[in-house]
Amino acid sequence: MSSYSDLKQRADEHWQSLVAGDRPWIRVGAAMCGHAAGASEVLGALRAELAARGAEANVAEVGCLGLCFAEPLVDILRPGSSRLFFDNVAPGDVPALIDGYLLSGAVRGREPLGYLGDAPIDGVPDLNDLPGMRLQERIALRNAGSIAPGDVLQYVANGGYAGLNKALFDMDAGGVIKEVTDSGLRGRGGAAFPTGVKWSFLVRSPGPPKYILCNCEEGDPGAYNDKGILESDPYTLLEGMTIAGYATGASNGFVFIRHGHDGPIVRTEEAIEQAYGAGLLGRNILGSDFSFDVEVSLTGESYVAGEETALMESIEGNRSMPRSRPPFPAAAGVWGKPSNINNVKSLAYAPEIISRGSGWFSSLGVNRSTGTAIICLSGAVRRPGLYEVPMGVTLRQIVDEIGGGVPEGRSLRLLQTGGPLGGVLGADGLDIHLDFEEMSEAGAILGSGGVIVADDTACPVDVTRILVAFCQYESCGKCFPCRLGMTHLLEVVERIANLEGRVSDLGLMETVGQTMQAGSLCGHGQLGFNPIKSALTHFEADFRAHIEEKRCPAGRCPMPKLTPRNMRPFADELRRPAAASAAP
């Protein structure tokens, strides 16, 4: 079994052949947003044009740099120069890119987006100085858009598996858990529970077998960061899972991905195969005494399948429905064996925390919210995208400075954060900081990182109706309070949206919501009233206008009633990531 130093030397040589060789290196963003904007056609045009001219170049598919608004994004690295990025590239632009910059080094024709590297390019801005990049602190996304997700050597050459090597040979299991605990890392799946503490629960459970489970079910509308990590840099997840396995004494890992999300599935399975081939998974990893196996498990297309016990039911071949607790997963999880489940982002931070130390990570952020947050910004903004920023920045900085604000001629009306069970905030919520406690106090949650912006043409009552309809449609129906409670809430909100509401409806919804919170089996029902509660906090006047004055201030209501027949395509539309066609 080769050592890490041998693997690193081989990886460095491979990387140098790409970045310092005599052939240009062309990278094309080919994650979901890239393909949605036409990256496949651009890749085909690039390869055809190079072949027609007899020109040699390395052409690679990479993940999303995060600038989804700029896709298809193509960057060209000429020998001895810096990476030059071109945004919104169409197949018709390819001949000019090859004849101009690739073959002659001349920047002419369409204006580049920016450059990355030590060598400035005349007349071109540094990409890191652009609004979409300037405020970022990239940790989990550090390699996104730069390495090929199907090449483990590129990951190793950029510091990958240094954290695992350090954990295996310089630290004991308890030291790893202490480092993660001291970093202040909290779960990024929504609950924000301290990750190190969660890992420690599994240590005390007997094994083997014990399982590390990763949740990439990700069904939240407006959230696509877990899938973005797997499409761009799946190795950071695999390394994080292996570190967690070593720290907790686990023997196996499962990555849960929603059925039909082909990009993340294919990339993760390729990465697992390469990790086994490089001795980074399997028996005696990197020549140590530690062994760990990982595989992908597909879940059904159900939002509630993202609940941790529902995922465990799924892997056992059952319908994805939550279990009663206790026993908790750390004592009896998959197949009754001790299990620990984490979000993709939570595990993706672990390699850098171990490699660079807990003090470095805890120095980022604010209060008890350390590190960074990955924000999926979509809706009525100029620059939708996937942005990793330090905890503590404000929603205003994200929407206005990074996202460019709402399109000209419109004003911001509301924000929806944290998925359909999250909060609805007004424009006065822009000054809220990305801080788990501060957002909770404002009636919102960071959740999975989705931030959807609506302009002044939106009606808060209609937006709330849509969120409640999604939650009602996605209820698994196992427990009575959620099954009937969500249905009852939707009936009432529909009545208000159709200008048929009664003043007593406001109190009725609160009563139903309190019953759901007290009696539901999982967070889906317990948080089911949350979007209504937060919307009433910030937009009670709009609700009362619909009820008492029988009018919609935004002029959008009444709206067609949402039924099971027309809800399915609507639910599918809600799950789609931000379109990559917005103007820069």
The DSSP code for 65 is -
- How many angstroms separate the CA atoms of 431 and 451, rounded? 14
What is the overall mean pLDDT for the chain? 92
- How many angstroms separate the CA atoms of 38 and 254, rounded? 32
CA distances from 140 to 12, 96, 374, 569 (A): 21, 35, 8, 32
Q: What does the pLDDT look like over 557-582, one tens digit per residue?
A: 987 776 665 555 545 544 444 433 33
pLDDT, average across residues 225-238: 96
Q: What does the pLDDT look like over 423-441, one tens digit per residue?
A: 899 999 999 999 999 998 8
- How many angstroms separate the CA atoms of 303 and 482, rounded? 14
| Two structure tokens written together for 190 | 């929504």
Tell how strand 372-379 and strand 450-455 pair up.
parallel
> Which helix (H) or strand (E) element contains residue 40?
helix 39-53
Q: Which domains does the chain have, with CATH numbers?
A: 15-134 (3.40.30.10), 160-362 (3.40.50.11540), 371-455 (3.10.20.600), 460-575 (1.20.1440.230)
Residue 577 has a pLDDT of 43
Q: What does the pLDDT look like over 107-152, one tens digit per residue?
A: 877 899 999 999 999 999 999 999 889 999 999 999 999 999 999 9
Residue 509 has a pLDDT of 96
CA distances from 291 to 163, 281, 285, 286 (A): 16, 7, 6, 10
Tell me the pLDDT band of 445, cut-offs 50, 70 and 90.
confident
- Please say whether the beta carbons of 405 and 472 come within 8 A: no
- How many angstroms separate the CA atoms of 498 and 514, rounded? 24
- How many angstroms separate the CA atoms of 444 and 432, rounded? 10
| Two structure tokens written together for 268 | 């993760």
> Which helix (H) or strand (E) element contains residue 27?
strand 25-29
Residue 582 has a pLDDT of 38
